[in-house]
Amino acid sequence: MTVPTAGEVAAQGPDPALSGLQPRLLDFTRALRRAGVPVAVSDGLDAVRAVTHIDLLSRRQLHEALAATMVKSAGHRPAFDTLFDVYFPPRVGAGGPDADVAPRDVGDLLAELVQRLLDGDDTDLRRLAHEAVESFGRVEGRDGSPEYFTYRVFRSINLAGVLRRALGAAAVDEGTVDHRLLRDELELRLRHLREEIEAEVRRRMVERRGHEDMARRLVRALPEDVDFFRVTADEQAEMRRAVRPLARRLATRLAVKRRRAKRGRLDARRTLRAALGTGGVPIAPAWRSRRVTRPELLLLCDVSGSVAAFAKFTLMFCHALQGQFARVRSFAFIDTVDEVTALFEEGDFTDAMQRLNTEADLVWLDGHSDYGHAFERFHAGWADAVTPRTTVLVLGDARNNYRAANDWVLADLRRRGRRLYWLNPEPAATWNSGDSIARQYGRHCDDMVECRTLRQLAAFVERIA
Protein backbone atom coordinates (compact mmCIF):
# COMPACT_ATOMS: atom_id res chain seq x y z
CA MET A 1 0.00 0.00 0.00
CA THR A 2 1.38 3.43 -0.85
CA VAL A 3 1.23 5.97 1.87
CA PRO A 4 0.17 9.44 0.74
CA THR A 5 2.57 12.18 1.69
CA ALA A 6 1.61 14.89 4.11
CA GLY A 7 1.19 17.25 1.19
CA GLU A 8 -1.32 15.06 -0.62
CA VAL A 9 -3.58 14.67 2.34
CA ALA A 10 -3.18 18.26 3.42
CA ALA A 11 -4.38 19.33 -0.02
CA GLN A 12 -7.68 17.58 0.63
CA GLY A 13 -7.80 18.47 4.29
CA PRO A 14 -10.80 20.50 5.28
CA ASP A 15 -9.34 22.90 7.77
CA PRO A 16 -5.97 24.69 7.73
CA ALA A 17 -6.22 25.16 11.49
CA LEU A 18 -5.48 21.46 11.88
CA SER A 19 -2.09 21.74 10.26
CA GLY A 20 -0.30 20.70 13.44
CA LEU A 21 -2.50 17.69 13.92
CA GLN A 22 -2.35 16.32 10.41
CA PRO A 23 1.33 15.33 10.29
CA ARG A 24 0.86 13.68 13.64
CA LEU A 25 -2.13 11.76 12.35
CA LEU A 26 -0.13 10.62 9.35
CA ASP A 27 2.73 9.43 11.53
CA PHE A 28 0.18 7.66 13.67
CA THR A 29 -1.37 6.01 10.61
CA ARG A 30 2.02 4.80 9.45
CA ALA A 31 2.80 3.39 12.88
CA LEU A 32 -0.53 1.56 12.90
CA ARG A 33 0.21 0.00 9.53
CA ARG A 34 3.64 -1.09 10.72
CA ALA A 35 1.94 -2.74 13.68
CA GLY A 36 -0.27 -4.74 11.34
CA VAL A 37 -3.46 -2.70 11.63
CA PRO A 38 -4.70 -2.23 8.08
CA VAL A 39 -5.67 1.43 7.78
CA ALA A 40 -6.91 2.24 4.29
CA VAL A 41 -6.25 5.64 2.73
CA SER A 42 -9.95 6.39 2.90
CA ASP A 43 -9.95 5.53 6.62
CA GLY A 44 -7.22 8.11 7.15
CA LEU A 45 -9.26 10.72 5.31
CA ASP A 46 -12.30 9.87 7.40
CA ALA A 47 -10.22 10.32 10.53
CA VAL A 48 -9.15 13.77 9.38
CA ARG A 49 -12.75 14.66 8.64
CA ALA A 50 -13.90 13.26 11.97
CA VAL A 51 -11.52 15.33 14.06
CA THR A 52 -12.96 18.55 12.62
CA HIS A 53 -16.27 17.74 14.26
CA ILE A 54 -15.17 16.92 17.76
CA ASP A 55 -13.86 18.83 20.69
CA LEU A 56 -10.11 18.54 20.33
CA LEU A 57 -9.50 19.41 23.94
CA SER A 58 -11.16 16.17 25.00
CA ARG A 59 -8.64 13.37 24.67
CA ARG A 60 -11.37 10.74 25.14
CA GLN A 61 -13.34 12.10 22.18
CA LEU A 62 -10.26 12.17 19.98
CA HIS A 63 -9.47 8.62 21.03
CA GLU A 64 -12.94 7.33 20.21
CA ALA A 65 -13.23 9.28 16.98
CA LEU A 66 -9.95 7.90 15.67
CA ALA A 67 -10.82 4.40 16.80
CA ALA A 68 -14.18 4.52 15.03
CA THR A 69 -12.59 5.55 11.75
CA MET A 70 -9.29 3.66 11.78
CA VAL A 71 -9.88 0.38 13.64
CA LYS A 72 -12.19 -2.07 11.96
CA SER A 73 -11.80 -5.10 14.15
CA ALA A 74 -11.82 -5.61 17.91
CA GLY A 75 -8.58 -7.60 17.67
CA HIS A 76 -6.70 -4.53 16.49
CA ARG A 77 -7.88 -2.34 19.32
CA PRO A 78 -5.09 -3.14 21.84
CA ALA A 79 -2.39 -2.18 19.32
CA PHE A 80 -4.33 0.96 18.50
CA ASP A 81 -4.69 1.93 22.17
CA THR A 82 -1.00 1.45 22.86
CA LEU A 83 0.05 3.54 19.89
CA PHE A 84 -2.54 6.19 20.68
CA ASP A 85 -0.90 6.63 24.08
CA VAL A 86 2.43 7.04 22.37
CA TYR A 87 1.34 9.56 19.74
CA PHE A 88 -1.24 11.45 21.76
CA PRO A 89 0.04 11.18 25.33
CA PRO A 90 -2.02 12.69 28.15
CA ARG A 91 -0.66 16.01 29.29
CA VAL A 92 1.84 15.77 32.10
CA GLY A 93 0.29 16.94 35.32
CA ALA A 94 -3.24 16.53 34.04
CA GLY A 95 -4.95 15.51 37.24
CA GLY A 96 -1.65 14.07 38.43
CA PRO A 97 1.20 15.26 40.61
CA ASP A 98 3.91 17.68 39.63
CA ALA A 99 6.85 16.06 37.94
CA ASP A 100 9.19 16.72 40.85
CA VAL A 101 7.27 15.09 43.66
CA ALA A 102 9.54 13.68 46.36
CA PRO A 103 10.07 9.90 46.19
CA ARG A 104 7.74 8.12 48.57
CA ASP A 105 8.55 5.62 51.23
CA VAL A 106 7.48 2.11 50.19
CA GLY A 107 5.52 1.31 53.33
CA ASP A 108 3.70 4.61 53.19
CA LEU A 109 2.77 4.18 49.55
CA LEU A 110 1.58 0.63 50.07
CA ALA A 111 -0.66 1.62 52.96
CA GLU A 112 -2.26 4.32 50.88
CA LEU A 113 -2.61 1.96 47.94
CA VAL A 114 -4.51 -0.57 50.05
CA GLN A 115 -6.83 2.16 51.29
CA ARG A 116 -7.50 3.54 47.81
CA LEU A 117 -8.12 0.07 46.44
CA LEU A 118 -10.90 -0.42 48.95
CA ASP A 119 -12.36 3.01 48.20
CA GLY A 120 -12.39 2.11 44.53
CA ASP A 121 -11.61 5.58 43.21
CA ASP A 122 -9.97 5.42 39.79
CA THR A 123 -8.48 8.92 39.82
CA ASP A 124 -6.68 8.20 43.06
CA LEU A 125 -5.32 4.95 41.70
CA ARG A 126 -4.05 6.75 38.64
CA ARG A 127 -2.27 9.27 40.85
CA LEU A 128 -0.73 6.46 42.87
CA ALA A 129 0.45 4.75 39.70
CA HIS A 130 2.26 7.95 38.75
CA GLU A 131 3.83 8.21 42.15
CA ALA A 132 4.92 4.60 42.12
CA VAL A 133 6.68 5.05 38.80
CA GLU A 134 8.21 8.30 40.00
CA SER A 135 9.53 6.66 43.16
CA PHE A 136 10.70 3.25 41.99
CA GLY A 137 10.78 3.13 38.21
CA ARG A 138 12.32 6.43 37.15
CA VAL A 139 13.19 6.31 33.48
CA GLU A 140 16.80 7.30 33.12
CA GLY A 141 19.33 7.15 30.36
CA ARG A 142 18.72 5.71 26.94
CA ASP A 143 18.97 2.05 27.79
CA GLY A 144 16.42 -0.32 29.20
CA SER A 145 13.10 -1.56 27.87
CA PRO A 146 9.67 -0.64 29.20
CA GLU A 147 9.52 -4.11 30.72
CA TYR A 148 12.65 -3.40 32.72
CA PHE A 149 11.24 -0.24 34.29
CA THR A 150 7.87 -1.79 35.10
CA TYR A 151 9.73 -4.73 36.61
CA ARG A 152 11.54 -2.33 38.89
CA VAL A 153 8.24 -0.86 40.05
CA PHE A 154 6.73 -4.25 40.76
CA ARG A 155 9.82 -5.35 42.63
CA SER A 156 8.91 -2.72 45.19
CA ILE A 157 5.16 -3.16 45.01
CA ASN A 158 4.11 -6.76 45.18
CA LEU A 159 0.61 -6.82 43.75
CA ALA A 160 -0.31 -10.20 45.23
CA GLY A 161 0.70 -8.90 48.65
CA VAL A 162 -1.35 -5.76 48.19
CA LEU A 163 -4.35 -7.89 47.32
CA ARG A 164 -3.90 -9.97 50.48
CA ARG A 165 -3.59 -6.89 52.65
CA ALA A 166 -6.61 -5.25 51.11
CA LEU A 167 -8.70 -8.39 51.61
CA GLY A 168 -7.54 -8.59 55.20
CA ALA A 169 -8.33 -4.93 55.82
CA ALA A 170 -11.85 -5.21 54.44
CA ALA A 171 -14.42 -6.13 57.04
CA VAL A 172 -16.05 -8.89 55.01
CA ASP A 173 -16.44 -12.46 56.23
CA GLU A 174 -14.61 -15.09 54.26
CA GLY A 175 -16.75 -17.61 52.42
CA THR A 176 -19.64 -15.27 51.67
CA VAL A 177 -20.75 -14.10 48.26
CA ASP A 178 -19.64 -10.59 49.17
CA HIS A 179 -16.11 -11.74 49.94
CA ARG A 180 -15.90 -13.46 46.61
CA LEU A 181 -17.17 -10.37 44.80
CA LEU A 182 -14.77 -8.11 46.63
CA ARG A 183 -11.90 -10.32 45.65
CA ASP A 184 -12.89 -10.19 41.99
CA GLU A 185 -13.22 -6.45 42.11
CA LEU A 186 -9.89 -5.90 43.82
CA GLU A 187 -8.23 -8.11 41.26
CA LEU A 188 -9.75 -6.05 38.49
CA ARG A 189 -8.66 -2.79 40.08
CA LEU A 190 -5.15 -4.11 40.51
CA ARG A 191 -5.14 -5.03 36.86
CA HIS A 192 -6.08 -1.43 36.06
CA LEU A 193 -3.33 -0.21 38.33
CA ARG A 194 -0.88 -2.41 36.55
CA GLU A 195 -1.95 -1.11 33.15
CA GLU A 196 -1.78 2.42 34.48
CA ILE A 197 1.78 1.87 35.66
CA GLU A 198 2.78 0.38 32.32
CA ALA A 199 1.18 3.31 30.50
CA GLU A 200 2.99 5.76 32.73
CA VAL A 201 6.34 4.13 32.07
CA ARG A 202 5.64 4.26 28.36
CA ARG A 203 4.67 7.91 28.55
CA ARG A 204 7.91 8.77 30.27
CA MET A 205 9.94 6.83 27.76
CA VAL A 206 8.22 8.57 24.88
CA GLU A 207 9.23 11.89 26.39
CA ARG A 208 12.82 10.77 26.40
CA ARG A 209 13.08 8.95 23.17
CA GLY A 210 10.46 10.31 20.82
CA HIS A 211 7.51 8.34 19.54
CA GLU A 212 8.95 6.78 16.39
CA ASP A 213 11.39 4.79 18.43
CA MET A 214 8.84 3.76 21.05
CA ALA A 215 6.16 2.82 18.56
CA ARG A 216 8.54 0.30 17.08
CA ARG A 217 9.32 -1.27 20.42
CA LEU A 218 5.91 -1.39 21.94
CA VAL A 219 3.53 -3.06 19.70
CA ARG A 220 2.72 -6.56 20.73
CA ALA A 221 1.77 -9.17 18.20
CA LEU A 222 -1.88 -9.87 17.45
CA PRO A 223 -3.19 -13.03 19.15
CA GLU A 224 -2.92 -14.87 15.83
CA ASP A 225 0.75 -14.00 15.53
CA VAL A 226 2.05 -14.82 19.00
CA ASP A 227 4.81 -17.39 18.98
CA PHE A 228 3.69 -20.55 20.81
CA PHE A 229 7.06 -20.81 22.51
CA ARG A 230 7.03 -17.31 23.97
CA VAL A 231 3.45 -17.07 25.03
CA THR A 232 2.72 -15.42 28.40
CA ALA A 233 -0.25 -16.22 30.62
CA ASP A 234 -2.13 -13.07 29.54
CA GLU A 235 -1.55 -13.87 25.92
CA GLN A 236 -2.73 -17.44 26.42
CA ALA A 237 -6.08 -16.15 27.64
CA GLU A 238 -6.31 -13.83 24.64
CA MET A 239 -5.41 -16.62 22.28
CA ARG A 240 -7.98 -18.91 23.85
CA ARG A 241 -10.59 -16.33 23.04
CA ALA A 242 -9.22 -16.00 19.52
CA VAL A 243 -9.40 -19.73 18.76
CA ARG A 244 -13.15 -20.03 18.27
CA PRO A 245 -13.65 -16.97 16.05
CA LEU A 246 -10.68 -18.08 13.98
CA ALA A 247 -12.15 -21.56 13.63
CA ARG A 248 -15.52 -20.10 12.71
CA ARG A 249 -14.02 -17.91 10.04
CA LEU A 250 -12.10 -20.82 8.61
CA ALA A 251 -15.27 -22.95 8.65
CA THR A 252 -17.20 -20.43 6.54
CA ARG A 253 -14.32 -20.20 4.10
CA LEU A 254 -14.14 -23.97 3.84
CA ALA A 255 -17.89 -24.18 3.25
CA VAL A 256 -17.60 -21.81 0.29
CA LYS A 257 -14.61 -23.72 -1.03
CA ARG A 258 -16.48 -27.01 -0.82
CA ARG A 259 -19.56 -25.60 -2.50
CA ARG A 260 -17.44 -24.47 -5.41
CA ALA A 261 -15.44 -27.68 -5.53
CA LYS A 262 -18.64 -29.67 -5.84
CA ARG A 263 -19.29 -28.44 -9.35
CA GLY A 264 -17.47 -30.90 -11.54
CA ARG A 265 -17.07 -31.64 -15.22
CA LEU A 266 -19.77 -31.32 -17.88
CA ASP A 267 -22.22 -34.20 -17.77
CA ALA A 268 -22.64 -34.85 -21.48
CA ARG A 269 -25.39 -37.43 -21.16
CA ARG A 270 -27.68 -35.26 -19.04
CA THR A 271 -26.91 -32.17 -21.12
CA LEU A 272 -27.96 -33.92 -24.34
CA ARG A 273 -31.03 -35.34 -22.68
CA ALA A 274 -32.07 -31.86 -21.56
CA ALA A 275 -31.33 -30.49 -25.04
CA LEU A 276 -34.11 -32.65 -26.56
CA GLY A 277 -36.63 -30.26 -25.05
CA THR A 278 -35.11 -27.34 -26.91
CA GLY A 279 -34.83 -28.95 -30.28
CA GLY A 280 -31.37 -30.36 -29.75
CA VAL A 281 -29.80 -27.04 -28.76
CA PRO A 282 -27.98 -27.49 -25.43
CA ILE A 283 -29.22 -24.35 -23.67
CA ALA A 284 -28.75 -25.48 -20.10
CA PRO A 285 -25.60 -27.51 -19.60
CA ALA A 286 -25.75 -30.04 -16.77
CA TRP A 287 -22.77 -30.61 -14.51
CA ARG A 288 -21.65 -33.68 -12.76
CA SER A 289 -21.39 -33.00 -9.05
CA ARG A 290 -18.24 -34.18 -7.40
CA ARG A 291 -18.29 -35.92 -4.08
CA VAL A 292 -16.28 -33.93 -1.63
CA THR A 293 -15.10 -36.09 1.21
CA ARG A 294 -14.21 -34.73 4.57
CA PRO A 295 -11.06 -36.30 5.96
CA GLU A 296 -10.90 -38.00 9.30
CA LEU A 297 -8.36 -36.36 11.51
CA LEU A 298 -6.15 -38.06 14.04
CA LEU A 299 -3.98 -35.89 16.25
CA LEU A 300 -1.00 -37.29 18.09
CA CYS A 301 0.32 -34.56 20.36
CA ASP A 302 3.37 -34.12 22.52
CA VAL A 303 2.04 -32.29 25.59
CA SER A 304 5.24 -32.16 27.62
CA GLY A 305 6.32 -28.84 29.11
CA SER A 306 8.23 -27.28 26.26
CA VAL A 307 5.56 -27.65 23.60
CA ALA A 308 2.45 -27.84 25.78
CA ALA A 309 1.07 -24.47 24.70
CA PHE A 310 1.35 -25.44 21.07
CA ALA A 311 -0.37 -28.78 21.60
CA LYS A 312 -3.17 -27.17 23.58
CA PHE A 313 -3.99 -24.65 20.92
CA THR A 314 -3.84 -27.18 18.14
CA LEU A 315 -6.15 -29.51 20.06
CA MET A 316 -8.58 -26.67 20.74
CA PHE A 317 -8.47 -25.49 17.19
CA CYS A 318 -9.06 -28.88 15.62
CA HIS A 319 -11.89 -29.69 17.96
CA ALA A 320 -13.45 -26.29 17.38
CA LEU A 321 -13.43 -27.32 13.73
CA GLN A 322 -15.00 -30.72 14.38
CA GLY A 323 -17.82 -30.03 11.94
CA GLN A 324 -15.35 -29.69 9.08
CA PHE A 325 -14.00 -33.20 9.47
CA ALA A 326 -15.68 -36.56 9.36
CA ARG A 327 -14.18 -37.30 12.72
CA VAL A 328 -11.52 -35.91 15.02
CA ARG A 329 -9.67 -38.22 17.40
CA SER A 330 -6.90 -37.00 19.60
CA PHE A 331 -4.13 -38.69 21.49
CA ALA A 332 -1.72 -37.04 23.87
CA PHE A 333 1.66 -38.29 24.97
CA ILE A 334 4.66 -37.40 27.05
CA ASP A 335 6.54 -40.63 27.33
CA THR A 336 3.51 -42.83 26.91
CA VAL A 337 0.24 -42.26 25.10
CA ASP A 338 -3.48 -42.07 25.90
CA GLU A 339 -6.63 -41.13 24.02
CA VAL A 340 -8.09 -37.74 25.02
CA THR A 341 -10.85 -37.26 22.44
CA ALA A 342 -13.65 -37.41 25.01
CA LEU A 343 -12.20 -34.54 27.01
CA PHE A 344 -12.42 -32.15 24.11
CA GLU A 345 -15.69 -33.20 22.58
CA GLU A 346 -17.79 -31.46 25.20
CA GLY A 347 -16.51 -28.12 24.05
CA ASP A 348 -15.32 -26.78 27.39
CA PHE A 349 -11.64 -26.35 26.65
CA THR A 350 -10.46 -24.91 29.95
CA ASP A 351 -11.94 -27.88 31.71
CA ALA A 352 -10.44 -30.24 29.14
CA MET A 353 -6.96 -28.84 29.72
CA GLN A 354 -7.14 -29.47 33.43
CA ARG A 355 -8.46 -32.98 33.00
CA LEU A 356 -5.79 -33.69 30.42
CA ASN A 357 -3.20 -33.25 33.14
CA THR A 358 -5.02 -35.20 35.83
CA GLU A 359 -7.03 -37.93 34.13
CA ALA A 360 -5.07 -39.01 31.09
CA ASP A 361 -2.31 -41.51 31.58
CA LEU A 362 0.64 -39.85 29.87
CA VAL A 363 3.67 -40.46 32.00
CA TRP A 364 5.42 -43.80 32.08
CA LEU A 365 8.89 -43.18 33.49
CA ASP A 366 10.16 -39.72 34.20
CA GLY A 367 7.92 -37.24 32.36
CA HIS A 368 10.45 -36.29 29.70
CA SER A 369 9.35 -36.57 26.09
CA ASP A 370 9.96 -40.00 24.67
CA TYR A 371 8.63 -40.08 21.13
CA GLY A 372 9.91 -43.54 20.45
CA HIS A 373 8.15 -45.21 23.36
CA ALA A 374 4.95 -43.23 22.86
CA PHE A 375 4.84 -44.18 19.17
CA GLU A 376 5.41 -47.81 20.02
CA ARG A 377 2.57 -47.80 22.55
CA PHE A 378 0.31 -46.02 20.09
CA HIS A 379 1.03 -48.61 17.45
CA ALA A 380 0.32 -51.44 19.84
CA GLY A 381 -2.95 -49.96 21.11
CA TRP A 382 -4.54 -47.92 18.36
CA ALA A 383 -2.89 -48.67 15.03
CA ASP A 384 -6.31 -49.78 13.73
CA ALA A 385 -7.63 -46.24 14.22
CA VAL A 386 -5.63 -45.22 11.17
CA THR A 387 -7.61 -46.09 8.05
CA PRO A 388 -7.19 -45.06 4.40
CA ARG A 389 -9.46 -42.07 5.09
CA THR A 390 -7.40 -40.79 8.01
CA THR A 391 -5.10 -37.81 7.95
CA VAL A 392 -2.62 -38.15 10.79
CA LEU A 393 -1.10 -35.05 12.38
CA VAL A 394 1.85 -35.49 14.70
CA LEU A 395 2.54 -32.46 16.88
CA GLY A 396 5.83 -31.88 18.59
CA ASP A 397 9.35 -30.55 18.40
CA ALA A 398 10.88 -34.00 17.73
CA ARG A 399 13.25 -33.53 20.66
CA ASN A 400 13.55 -37.08 21.84
CA ASN A 401 16.02 -36.69 24.70
CA TYR A 402 18.42 -39.03 22.83
CA ARG A 403 16.14 -42.04 23.19
CA ALA A 404 15.18 -44.65 20.62
CA ALA A 405 13.39 -43.08 17.67
CA ASN A 406 11.19 -46.02 16.60
CA ASP A 407 10.51 -44.27 13.33
CA TRP A 408 9.22 -47.50 11.79
CA VAL A 409 5.89 -46.62 13.46
CA LEU A 410 5.58 -43.48 11.34
CA ALA A 411 6.43 -45.45 8.22
CA ASP A 412 3.66 -47.90 9.05
CA LEU A 413 1.13 -45.16 9.86
CA ARG A 414 1.85 -43.51 6.56
CA ARG A 415 1.24 -46.77 4.76
CA ARG A 416 -2.09 -47.26 6.54
CA GLY A 417 -3.40 -43.69 6.43
CA ARG A 418 -4.19 -41.19 3.75
CA ARG A 419 -1.68 -38.52 4.72
CA LEU A 420 0.82 -38.03 7.50
CA TYR A 421 1.91 -34.56 8.52
CA TRP A 422 4.18 -33.35 11.27
CA LEU A 423 3.60 -29.92 12.78
CA ASN A 424 6.68 -28.53 14.43
CA PRO A 425 6.43 -25.42 16.62
CA GLU A 426 10.15 -24.73 16.39
CA PRO A 427 11.58 -22.39 13.78
CA ALA A 428 12.78 -24.52 10.89
CA ALA A 429 16.34 -23.24 11.33
CA THR A 430 16.72 -25.06 14.66
CA TRP A 431 15.45 -28.43 13.47
CA ASN A 432 18.01 -31.21 13.79
CA SER A 433 20.07 -29.27 16.30
CA GLY A 434 20.81 -30.89 19.66
CA ASP A 435 18.47 -33.77 20.44
CA SER A 436 15.99 -32.88 17.68
CA ILE A 437 15.61 -35.72 15.19
CA ALA A 438 13.26 -33.84 12.92
CA ARG A 439 14.96 -35.11 9.77
CA GLN A 440 14.77 -38.74 10.77
CA TYR A 441 11.03 -38.45 11.46
CA GLY A 442 10.40 -36.04 8.60
CA ARG A 443 11.57 -38.66 6.08
CA HIS A 444 8.44 -40.68 6.81
CA CYS A 445 5.98 -37.79 6.63
CA ASP A 446 4.26 -36.27 3.62
CA ASP A 447 5.44 -32.96 4.96
CA MET A 448 6.94 -31.50 8.11
CA VAL A 449 5.52 -28.02 8.60
CA GLU A 450 6.76 -25.20 10.75
CA CYS A 451 3.81 -24.01 12.80
CA ARG A 452 4.61 -21.27 15.28
CA THR A 453 1.49 -19.14 15.41
CA LEU A 454 -2.27 -19.55 15.26
CA ARG A 455 -2.22 -17.97 11.82
CA GLN A 456 0.20 -20.58 10.46
CA LEU A 457 -1.91 -23.26 12.09
CA ALA A 458 -5.08 -22.00 10.42
CA ALA A 459 -3.35 -21.83 7.06
CA PHE A 460 -2.20 -25.42 7.44
CA VAL A 461 -5.61 -26.70 8.47
CA GLU A 462 -7.21 -24.98 5.51
CA ARG A 463 -4.78 -26.82 3.28
CA ILE A 464 -5.75 -30.26 4.52
CA ALA A 465 -9.49 -29.83 5.20
Q: Which residues lie near another protein (CB under 8 A)? A: 38, 40, 42-43, 46, 49-50, 53-55, 60-61, 64-65, 67-69, 71-74, 77, 175-177, 180-181, 184-185, 240, 245, 248-249, 252, 256, 346-350
**Residue 231 or residue 362: which is nearer to another protein going by CB?**
231
**Closer Cβ to another protein, 216 or 249, answer by number:** 249
Closer by beta carbon to another protein, 37 or else 109: 37
Smallest distance, another protein to C-beta of residue 196, A? 16
> Measured from the CB atom, is 12 or 401 closer to another protein?
12
In the complex with another protein, the residue whose CB is nearer, 77 or 443, is: 77
Please state, as a whole number, how many other Cβ atoms lie within 10 Å of the Cβ of residue 235. 17
Minimum CB distance to another protein, residue 35 (Å)? 17
In angstroms, the CA 370 to CA 383 distance is 18
Nearer to another protein, 153 or 315 (CB): 315
DSSP label of 392 = E
Q: Least Å distance between CB 55 and another protein?
A: 7
HSE on the CB side for 37, CA within 13 Å? 28
Q: What is the largest CA-CA distance in the chain?
A: 99
Nearer to another protein, 355 or 418 (CB): 355
Query: What's the min distance (Å) between Cβ of 238 and another protein?
Result: 13
- Radius of gyration, alpha carbons of the chain: 29
Choice between 61 and 456, CB closer to another protein: 61
Nearer to another protein, 59 or 419 (CB): 59
Smallest gap from residue 76 Cβ to another protein (A): 10
Query: Minimum CB separation from another protein for residue 343, in Å?
Result: 14
CB of 426 to another protein, least distance (A): 29
CB 352, min distance to another protein, A? 11
The nearest distance, CB 256 to another protein, in angstroms, is 7
| Nearest residue to 348 (alpha-carbon basis) of 374, 321, 322, 320 | 320
